[in-house]
């Protein structure tokens, strides 16, 4: 019985992997104002604004500069949301961004969508 459940999980995992790869290949993500507003809510509730401003460099890069640098596609969405959760440095300078390990990947992705949509 356990083995059967194991196999089913493994198959689901394979399917999930192959379908997310398909999305990654198509690239560009279409997001609209609703995504943007949802992300903004998360940003407001978190500590982002202690280091980031929308239009000018502060401790961290301006959100509009981040938006100019990255296209809103699956790769960047994954990469940046992971970086918000784990923290990191060296892309913009020596100052590191602290990790936000309590954020869910979904919430972090919503924030990235909000930020990258600022270029529109």
Residues that bind ligand HEC (CB under 6 A): 43, 46-48, 50-52, 59-61, 66, 80, 83-84, 88-93, 95-98, 100, 111-112, 115
Instruction: In angstroms, give the least distance from the CB of 49 to ligand HEC.
Output: 8
**Cβ distance to ligand HEC smaller for residue 16 or 82:** 82
Whole-angstrom distance, CA of residue 97 vs CA of residue 102: 15
Whole-angstrom distance, CA of residue 104 vs CA of residue 81: 9
Whole-angstrom distance, CA of residue 115 vs CA of residue 118: 5
Instruction: In angstroms, give the least distance from the CB of 74 to ligand HEC.
Output: 15
**Cβ distance to ligand HEC smaller for residue 31 or 115:** 115
Whole-angstrom distance, CA of residue 14 vs CA of residue 60: 38
Instruction: In angstroms, give the least distance from the CB of 72 to ligand HEC.
Output: 12
**Cβ distance to ligand HEC smaller for residue 2 or 113:** 113
Residue 30, CB-side half-sphere exposure with 13 Å CA sphere: 1
């Amino acid at each position: 019985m356990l083995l059967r459940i194991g196999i089913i999980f493994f198959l689901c995992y394979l399917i999930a992997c192959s379908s997310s790869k398909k999305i990654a290949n198509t690239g560009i993500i279409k997001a609209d104002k609703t995504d943007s507003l949802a992300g903004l809510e998360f940003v407001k509730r978190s500590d982002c604004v202690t280091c980031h401003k929308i239009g000018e460099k502060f401790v961290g890069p301006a959100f509009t500069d981040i938006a100019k640098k990255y296209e809103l596609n699956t790769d960047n969405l994954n990469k940046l949301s992971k970086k918000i959760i784990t923290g990191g440095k060296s892309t913009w300078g020596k100052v590191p961004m602290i990790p936000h390990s309590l954020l869910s990947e979904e919430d972090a992705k919503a924030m990235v969508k909000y930020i990258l949509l600022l270029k529109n």
